[in-house]
Structure 1
C-alpha cells in the first residue's frame, strides 16, 4: 500500500486546505524561483540598512585592545592560535567561510563582555570549540558531533556535556544574538558595482573571500567595520585584474552611503602590508667558504715542495675544481 506525500504530512499542516500545497500550483500562487527579480534600489536600501546596523555586532576596538594589554586578559598570540585552529577545522570539514567568521565574531564578542577564569590553556580552547560549534549549527547543513569537531591538533579533548555548558554560557553572554553582519554580506553588491556585466564577479567575490579569511587572525582589522573590510578586499581583488587596476577607494566610497574613503584607504593599506609580511621569502643561498691561495704562496710552495708534493699538486687542484663545479651546479 503506497502512502502519498500529502498523507504523511497531513498532521503537520494548519487548518488551510492542504491540497493546495501539494498541487502543481494555482493561478493565485506566485511561482517559486531561485532567481529573484529584485530591483537595484531595493538592494541598495538593504545594503544601507546593513551598514546602519553593522556596528551592533562589533566589539569596540579600543576597549577590546586594552584587554589584550591587561594582565588578566587574553593576549594576541593566544587569540591568533585559536583563530588558526578554527580555520584549520573549517578547511578540514569544508565549512562555509561565514562559519569561520561567525566563530571568531562570537569569540571576540564573548571575551569583550566576559572574562574566563583562566585566559590561556584549556578555557580558551573550550571557548573556541563552543563558538565553532554554534556557528556551524547556524550556517552548516551538516554538523559533526562535538567529539568529531575536535580535530586538527586540538590540544585538549572535552566531553560533549562540557562543550554544551560552554555553548549556553556563550549564548547568554551574546544575548542569543547569533546572526551577525559580516563582510561577506557586501561582497556580491560591491563586485556588481565594479563589474555590472558580471563577467568577473565570481573571481572578485572568491578572491575577496580568501583575503578576508587570511586577515581574520590580525587584531588590527577589528578597528574596521565589515562594510569597510568588504570594500577594501574587493579593491584588492579588482587590482589583480588589468581591467580594474585603476579602481580606487574614491570609487568605492560612491558605492553606497555609509562608506568612508579614508577608512577604506587605511584598511586597504593594512591588507597590502599584511600580505607583504606574510609572503614567504626565499632563504639566501649560502656558499661554502673556500680557501683562496695567493700567487706568492703558490710560488713559495712550488719552490719548497719536494717531488712527492709536486706530484700531488694536480690532485689538489682537481679536488678544488670539482668542489667549485658542484657549487655552481647547485
Structure 2
C-alpha cells in the first residue's frame, strides 16, 4: 500500500505502535520529521543560503507540474530535512537540481506515483542518469534515517476536525479543503517551519473556520484549545501568521500576474503551480502502480557521500 500523508503510520515498517484512536503516536513522533531548530533559525536569519532552498523548491515544482499538490509537498519535506541534516557543502546549480529531483523521485516511490526519468531531463541543461539519481537517493535516505513516512500537518486534520462536531458532510469537506490550501501555502513560510505539524494543522482548521464559519469560530477555538497536545499560544500565533500570509498573497496577486505574463522564471513557475494546486485539492489523484524500484527494494548497505557523485 502506498504512503498516505493523512495516515503515515499505516503499514509502516518502523518499530512503533500503530496509531491509536486519539492519534497519540503521531504526536509523540512528529518532531522526528521536522527540520532541525538550527536550520530553521539559519534560514530566518539569512545565514543559510536561502537561494539554495528557493531554487530547489522551484525545481521540485517544475518536476511535479503534471501532478497534484501532495507529491511536491512530500518532496519539499524531504528536502528541508535533508538540508537540515546533511546540507550541501558546495551548492552548485547542478547539485541543487540533483537533490531536488532525487527528493521528487523518493516521494514518487513512496506514493506509488508513476514517474519517468525523462521528467528530470532537458530543463536547465542538466542531464542525470539513473545511477546518479539513485546515489543521491541513498544519501538522502541516510540523512533522513530512512524515516520516509513523513508526519505532516495532513496527518492531524482528521483528528482535529473531529473537535468541530460538524454534522453536514459538505460543510465538513469544505472546511477540510480550505485547511489543506492553507497548509500547502504554509510550507513556503519559514516562520511556520519551527512549529510542530500538529499546531499547523490545528491552526489551518481554525483559520478556515474563521473564514467559512465565523459565528462558530469561538466554539471551535475553545474545543481545539482543550486538547492537551496543543500549545494554545503557538496555535494562535500560527493563526495570525496564516492571516498575514493570506493578506500578503492578495496584495501580490496582481504583481504575480504581470510578472508571469512577461517572463517564465523558476519563481514565477512556482507561483503559477501553487495556484494550480489550489484548484486541484478537491479532486482525487489517479493512482497507478510503480514501475520503478521501491525504497524497500534497496539493499541495506547504502553508504554514499557527495564525493561519489559526479556531474554527468
What TM-score do you get using the length of structure 2 for normalisation?
0.67
Corresponding residue of 2:66:
93
User: Distance between the aligned counterparts of 1:188 and 1:87, measured in 2?
Assistant: 27
> For this pair of structures, how many residues does the alignment match?
235
Q: Does 1:123 align with 2:95?
A: yes
Q: Does 1:202 align with 2:176?
A: no
Change (3 A) 1:43 1:127: closer
Q: Does 1:277 align with 2:248?
A: yes
Change (3 A) 1:262 1:185: same
The within-5 A match list for 1:125-274 is 125-140=97-112, 142-150=113-121, 154=124, 156-199=126-169, 200-242=171-213, 244-247=216-219, 249-254=221-226, 256-274=227-245
User: Distance between the aligned counterparts of 2:58 and 2:177, measured in 1?
Assistant: 20
User: Distance between the aligned counterparts of 2:182 and 2:79, measured in 1?
Assistant: 20
1:148 counterpart SS class: helix
Change (3 A) 1:206 1:155: farther
1:65 counterpart SS class: helix
User: Distance between the aligned counterparts of 1:181 and 1:192, measured in 2?
Assistant: 19
Alpha-carbon offset, residue 175 of structure 1: 1.7
Which residues of structure 1 form unaligned runs of 5+? 1-41, 284-330
Contact preservation (8 Å) 1:191, 1:234:
yes
User: Distance between the aligned counterparts of 2:142 and 2:254, measured in 1?
Assistant: 48
User: Distance between the aligned counterparts of 2:222 and 2:59, measured in 1?
Assistant: 37
User: Distance between the aligned counterparts of 2:181 and 2:205, measured in 1?
Assistant: 11
What TM-score do you get using the length of structure 1 for normalisation?
0.64
1:162 counterpart SS class: helix
Alpha-carbon offset, residue 155 of structure 1: 5.7
Change (3 A) 1:148 1:226: same
Change (3 A) 1:278 1:174: same
Change (3 A) 1:135 1:274: same
Larger relative contact order (C-alpha < 8 A, sep ≥ 6)?
Answer: 2
Alpha-carbon offset, residue 224 of structure 1: 0.4
User: Distance between the aligned counterparts of 2:127 and 2:69, measured in 1?
Assistant: 24
RMSD between aligned residues: 2.7
User: Distance between the aligned counterparts of 2:154 and 2:193, measured in 1?
Assistant: 15
Contact preservation (8 Å) 1:235, 1:247:
no
1:133 counterpart SS class: helix
1:181 counterpart SS class: coil
2:140 counterpart SS class: helix
**Alpha-carbon displacement from aligned partner over 1:153-208 (angstroms, at most 9, x marks no partner):** 55633222211111111112212121111111111222232143143221122111
Which runs of at least 4 in structure 1 moved beyond 6 Å after TM superposition?
Answer: none
Alignment counterpart, residue 57 of structure 1, candidates 25, 33, 55: 33
